[in-house]
Amino acid sequence: METLFKKFMAQFEGRVLNVRHCHGIPVANVAKEDLSMMARYIHQDKAMHGTLSLLWAVDHRPCEDRYELLYLFTLRGYQEWMVLTIDLGGEERVFPSITPVIHAAQWYEREIRDMFGLIAQGHPDLRRLVRHEHWPKGTHPLRKTYAWNSVLTREQGEYSFNRIEGEGVFEVAVGPIHAGVIEPGHFRFSVAGEPVMQLEVRHFWKHRGVEKLFEQKLLTAGVPLAERISGDTTVGHALAYCEAVETLLGLEVPLRAKYLRCVFLELERLHNHLGDVGAICNDVAFTLAHAHCGRMKERIMQLNDQLTGSRFLRGIIDVGGMQVDLAPQQFSQLIGELDTIQPDFTELEKILAVNASLKDRLETTGLLKVRTAWDHAALGYVARASGMDRDLRFDRPFAAYNLLPVKVPRYQEGDVRARMQVRIDEIHESMRLIRQIQSDIRPGPIRVEPTTMPQPGDWALSGVEGWRGEILYFVMAGEDGRIHRCKIRDPSFVNWPIIQQAVMGNIIPDFPLINKSFNLSYAGNDL
Amino acid sequence: MFGNICLIFLQMVVILGVSPFVVGLIRKVKAWLQCRKGPSVFQPYADLRKIFCKEAVIPSTTSWIFTITPYILFGSTLAAGLLVPAFFADMPLGFAGNIIALVYLLALGTFFLILAGLDAGSAFGGMGSSREALVASVTEPAMILSIFAIGLTAGSTNLNTIVHRTALFQGVTTDPAPHLLALGALFIVALAETGRVPVDNPATHLELTMIHEAMILDYSGRYLALVEWAASMKLLVFLSLLVNIFAPWGIAVEATAGAMTLGLVAYLVKVSALAVVIGILECTVAKLRLFRLSELLGAAFILALLAVIFFYMFRG
């Protein structure tokens, strides 16, 4: 490991100000002026082939009067991580934008501007992102000087959408209130007849200040909040949070607890993927598949309820291990349920595979090219359907995945059908993993209690492959075991801008189908 | 004279009364095929009653077209329903118009609905109207041509005559090919005109994909009820056309109570059977891409054209 980081260090001998390792992740502190050049090297060099995975800021006050910006890169093969950091001391509020070099940085830099008031110089689009226009000027909630319980006054203002003008070009505004039971989000289409010329996604209606809320909490008390960031990804978020905190506290989670975490993560993947396959079919009026997938999803959720007392698997994971254990007979109940669902699903799969009208709708719809996916650093099934075989369970194993080799499906087509096929393959893989865990797992303790307190300023990064894709948590310890800063990155934040590219050239009635094949979280994105 | 008025009244009651049942039946069949219990087949009646009792909200941006459209749509569809023989072969209103009048009575309603969709000025209504205009314009040639094919074999465009001749196997036995081809064409046309899968999805909540539903998004209260009722009547009109032109057997040819009762039962059975077929079809295909509709309706047009060509070939 770290061969690519060594190559980076060799390339920039003497220009890197300071190198250290933070819980196994190499961190290089560099000068502001060098950042763009180094980012370009990491991104474009054939051997490094790095994508920007996360970009976030930390306000170090009251300890030190500086902001720190951190850039997490995933290097070639998706197995190696490295972090670049720059410091903004004193009254400095401007940092160089890397968006012109790395497209994936665009939303992160706008987010930092809104939350911290730090301006990315050279960013091509500095409109507000999270702060809607009714927020008063100068409101930057993640600054330490901003009280978490401040009440905002309401200002007037209007967001300016990207406009296409010309004869026969119309704007179609959809949302934030929709006809179905869907979260709020606004979609602005520019259309000429039915074909979409441009889509602009306007989100963050559901911003709840989650990252600020974390800063009021003890490290050991953050799980309930993490579980509620995106309701359908309870286990993914809880697990990612716990992994980060456990690294900080130096906890070694017992093996049985690690296995159990994998079981529940796969169960969450199962019920969401089953629901999605049905929902994609429902959007093309193929209601048969929807009904049957809905039934199978419901069976898994009822199973969740019987095993843990929660249909959404809440309250089962905690810092240091698990809250619930599975008895042997519960394991056999679980496997029994999978044994009835799998042949059922396989039969449905055959129906889906031979239905020509369905195939015609799903193929070539919502095409996401391999190159576009790479430029946006796409995640999860969206990436795997567009030629990127990234999956943290395989690339950087967490929990017990180092003992459970995961087969990662990959398709090149990048259309709705490929995204559905990735899910179908993952459903079978999840069932196989759960069966393997049942035969591998041994009795033992399921939790350990924290004994130490982390140093203020110490931080940890964790990554978990949730059902939707890579979930990242950055947790920095503060005084008295509290959280100084918690940065959360749901895969939706990365994949939402990609939808804008995937609908180009499609017709407007196909948008709901494309959107469903991405099935992104609004709450996880808006935070 | 009095008997005729009674007949017209009876037919009106049947059209108004049976149409929600057909919609409910299709939904029920779909539910069964999805292993669901589904709502009762009489649910559409309860829905209509509920919507009739609700307050009607009229968008402030609309003109008189918006409020008058439901009445025109309802009236024209009901009038079309009276032209089609349902359980009795000699419709007393038969003198008032032939099958071509029927087509354009239905088109009148569609035309006003398209205008009303545009009237409210919302993006969805406009999209629905433009799509409905597209569907209507590619449907019409296939519909007219298939009707001509039927008219040629029966030797008349009068529906009563067509039904009579078919019931007595006049024309049909000598050359069944044009008749069957025209049946195929008219069935596709019926699916398109009534907004069923694979052309439109009446069950969706996704405004961006809607055709018919997008135009009526702004309606509420009694206006919505009239539009919904008219839509189900239109479906029944097409089903009646299909069953009575192509399988008129059992229809009452004399105005006696016994024949009429038998005719009514036969009618209900035939229409229900066709509704079941539509329900099964809707469960086995996905909705077409919008721009593939012209291919489907093009196929309907070709079928109808072949029917006309075959007619002349067999005769000559």
Per-residue pLDDT tens digits for A35-75: 999 999 999 888 888 999 999 999 988 888 899 999 999 98
Cβ-based burial of B121 (10 A; exposed 0-12, middle 13-18, buried ≥19): exposed
DSSP code for A474: E
User: What does each C-alpha distance from A136 to A109, A210, A352, B68 come to in angstroms?
Assistant: 20, 19, 52, 47
What is the mean predicted confidence (pLDDT) over A169-198? 88
Of B207, B284, B285, the CB nearest to A179: B207
Nearest CA in chain A to B27: A287
Residues A195 and A309 placed together within one structural domain of the fold: no
What is the mean predicted confidence (pLDDT) over A501-512? 90
Nearest CA in chain A to B131: A194
Residues A186 and A330 placed together within one structural domain of the fold: no
Peptide bond into A62 cis (omega under 30): yes
Q: A283 vs B198: CB contact, 8 Å cut-off? A: no
ipTM at complex level: 0.86
Q: Residue A27 and residue A349: Cα distance in Å, rounded?
A: 46
What residues are paired with B201 via a beta bridge? none
Q: Residue A217 and residue A486: Cα distance in Å, rounded?
A: 10
Q: Which range marks the domain in which residue A74 is found?
A: 3-121
Residues A283 and A381 placed together within one structural domain of the fold: yes
Q: What is the pLDDT of residue B174?
A: 61
Residues A117 and A176 placed together within one structural domain of the fold: no
Q: Residue B242 and residue B183: Cα distance in Å, rounded?
A: 7
**pLDDT tens per residue across span A294-327:** 999 999 999 999 999 999 999 999 998 898 988 8
Q: A172 vs B35: CB contact, 8 Å cut-off? A: no
Q: B285 vs A287: CB contact, 8 Å cut-off? A: no
User: What does each C-alpha distance from B3 to A46, A199, B164, B256 come to in angstroms?
Assistant: 90, 63, 20, 11
Does the pLDDT value for residue A93 go beyond 80?
A: yes
For an interface test with B, the pick among A288, A510, A515 (most B C-beta atoms closer than 10 Å) comes out as A288
B35 to chain A, closest Cα gap in Å:
8
**How many degrees, rounded to 5, is the angle at CA A46 between CA A40 and CA A51?**
50
Residue A145 lies in a domain: no
Does the pLDDT value for residue A117 go beyond 80?
A: yes
What is the mean predicted confidence (pLDDT) over A443-472? 90
Q: Are A483 and A222 in contact (CB under 8 A)?
A: yes
Q: Residue A240 and residue A470: Cα distance in Å, rounded?
A: 10
What is the mean predicted confidence (pLDDT) over A516-527? 91
**pLDDT tens per residue across span B61-108:** 889 999 999 999 999 999 999 888 888 877 767 666 788 888 889 999
Q: What is the pLDDT of residue A76?
A: 87
Single residue among A83, A99, A121 that ends a domain in this structure: A121
Give the number of domains in chain A: 3
Pairing type for strands A186-192 and A459-465 reads unpaired
Does the pLDDT value for residue A196 go beyond 60?
A: yes
CATH assignment of the domain containing A89: 3.30.460.80
Does the pLDDT value for residue A1 go beyond 80?
A: no
Phi/psi for A357 (5° steps) reads -65, -35
CATH assignment of the domain containing A499: 1.10.645.10
Residue A151 lies in a domain: no
Peptide bond into A497 cis (omega under 30): no
CB neighbourhood size of A94 (10 A): 12
Q: What is the pLDDT of residue B172?
A: 56
Nearest CA in chain B to A365: B289
Q: A172 vs B33: CB contact, 8 Å cut-off? A: no
Q: Angle at which helices B2-33 and B221-246 pack, to 10 degrees?
A: 100
Q: Across chain A, what does the average pLDDT equal?
A: 90
**pLDDT tens per residue across span A347-406:** 999 999 998 888 988 999 999 999 999 999 999 999 999 999 899 999 999 888 999 889
- Amino acid found at A473: Y
Q: What pTM, to 2 d.p., does this model score?
A: 0.90
Q: Residue A102 corresponds to which tokens in the numbers above? A: 């790395």
The whole-angstrom distance between residue B161's C-alpha and the CA centroid of its chain comes to 20
Q: Residue A289 and residue A199: Cα distance in Å, rounded?
A: 29
Q: Are B127 and B170 in contact (CB under 8 A)?
A: no
Q: Of all helices (H) and strands (E), which one includes residue A229?
A: none
B27 to chain A, closest Cα gap in Å:
12
Q: Residue A213 and residue A208: Cα distance in Å, rounded?
A: 9
Residues A312 and A371 placed together within one structural domain of the fold: yes
Q: Residue A276 and residue A304: Cα distance in Å, rounded?
A: 18
Peptide bond into A26 cis (omega under 30): no
Q: A281 vs B286: CB contact, 8 Å cut-off? A: yes
Q: Are A464 and A236 in contact (CB under 8 A)?
A: yes
Residues A356 and A448 placed together within one structural domain of the fold: yes
Cβ-based burial of A33 (10 A; exposed 0-12, middle 13-18, buried ≥19): exposed
Residue A141 lies in a domain: no
In the sheet with A470-477, reading across from the earlier edge strand, the strands are: A459-465, A470-477, A483-489
Which residues in chain A have their CB less than 8 angstroms from residue B131's CB? 509
Of A174, A180, A509, the CB nearest to B290: A509
A171 to chain B, closest Cα gap in Å:
8
- Give the contacts of A355 (CB within 8 A, at least 6 positions apart): A286, B284, B285, B286
Residues A251 and A186 placed together within one structural domain of the fold: no
Q: A285 vs B36: CB contact, 8 Å cut-off? A: no
Q: How many CB pairs under 8 A join A and B?
A: 84
- SS3 for A67-96, per residue? EEEEEEEECHHHCCEEEEEEEEECCCCEEE
Residues A188 and A222 placed together within one structural domain of the fold: no
* B122/A contact by beta carbon, under 8 A: no
Q: B285 vs A355: CB contact, 8 Å cut-off? A: yes
- Ranking A54-68, A414-428, B162-176 by mean pLDDT, the lowest is B162-176
Does the pLDDT value for residue B245 go beyond 80?
A: yes
B209 to chain A, closest Cα gap in Å:
4
Locus of tokens 């094949």:
A517
Residues A425 and A504 placed together within one structural domain of the fold: yes
DSSP secondary structure string for all residues of A179-200: SSS----EEEEEEESSBEEEEE
pLDDT band at A175 (very low <50, low <70, confident <90, very high): confident
Q: Residue A415 and residue A349: Cα distance in Å, rounded?
A: 18
Residues A347 and A233 placed together within one structural domain of the fold: yes
Q: A172 vs B288: CB contact, 8 Å cut-off? A: no
Q: What is the pLDDT of residue A517?
A: 93
Q: What is the pLDDT of residue A380?
A: 92
- Give the contacts of B295 (CB within 8 A, at least 6 positions apart): none
pLDDT band at B290 (very low <50, low <70, confident <90, very high): confident
Nearest to A36 by CA among A69, A5, A13: A69
Q: B289 vs A361: CB contact, 8 Å cut-off? A: yes
Q: Are B87 and B267 in contact (CB under 8 A)?
A: yes
A285 to chain B, closest Cα gap in Å:
5
Q: Residue A262 and residue A24: Cα distance in Å, rounded?
A: 22
Residue A137 lies in a domain: no
Does the pLDDT value for residue B203 go beyond 60?
A: yes
Does the pLDDT value for residue B171 go beyond 70?
A: no
- SS3 for chain B, per residue? CHHHHHHHHHHHHHHHHHHHHHHHHHHHHHHHHCCCCCCCCCHHHHHHHHHHHCCCCCCCCCCHHHHHHHHHHHHHHHHHHHHCCCCECCCHHHHHCCHHHHHHHHHHHHHHHHHHHHHCCCHHHHHHHHHHHHHHHHHHHHHHHHHHHHHHHHCCCCHHHHHHHHHCCCCCCCCHHHHHHHHHHHHHHHHHHCCCCCCCCCCCCCHHHCCHHHHCCCCCHHHHHHHHHHHHHHHHHHHHHHHHHHCCCCCECCCCHHHHHHHHHHHHHHHHHHHHHHHHHHHHCCCCCHHHHHHHHHHHHHHHHHHHHHHHHHHC
Q: What is the pLDDT of residue A265?
A: 94
Q: What is the pLDDT of residue A172?
A: 87
Of B34, B204, B208, the CB nearest to A285: B204
For an interface test with A, the pick among B132, B208, B218 (most A C-beta atoms closer than 10 Å) comes out as B208
Single residue among A94, A121, A148 that ends a domain in this structure: A121
For chain A, what percent of residues have pLDDT higher than 70? 100
Q: What is the pLDDT of residue B170?
A: 64
Which residues in chain B have their CB less than 8 angstroms from residue A174's CB? 123, 207-208
Residue A140 lies in a domain: no
Pairing type for strands A66-74 and A51-59 reads antiparallel
pLDDT band at B316 (very low <50, low <70, confident <90, very high): low
For an interface test with A, the pick among B29, B280, B285 (most A C-beta atoms closer than 10 Å) comes out as B285
Does the pLDDT value for residue A173 go beyond 60?
A: yes
Does the pLDDT value for residue B48 go beyond 90?
A: yes
Q: Are A478 and A484 in contact (CB under 8 A)?
A: yes
Does the pLDDT value for residue B29 go beyond 80?
A: yes
Domain boundaries, chain B: 2-315
Q: What is the pLDDT of residue A98?
A: 92
Q: B34 vs A511: CB contact, 8 Å cut-off? A: no
Residues A274 and A357 placed together within one structural domain of the fold: yes
Q: Are A261 and A322 in contact (CB under 8 A)?
A: yes
Q: What is the pLDDT of residue B169?
A: 66
Instruction: Indicate the length of chain B as a whole number.
Output: 316
Residues A260 and A112 placed together within one structural domain of the fold: no
- For residues A251 and B96, the model is more confident at A251
Which residues, numbered 23 to 42 in chain B, qualify as contacts with chain A under a Cβ-Cβ cut-off of 8 Å? 30, 33-36
Nearest CA in chain A to B289: A361
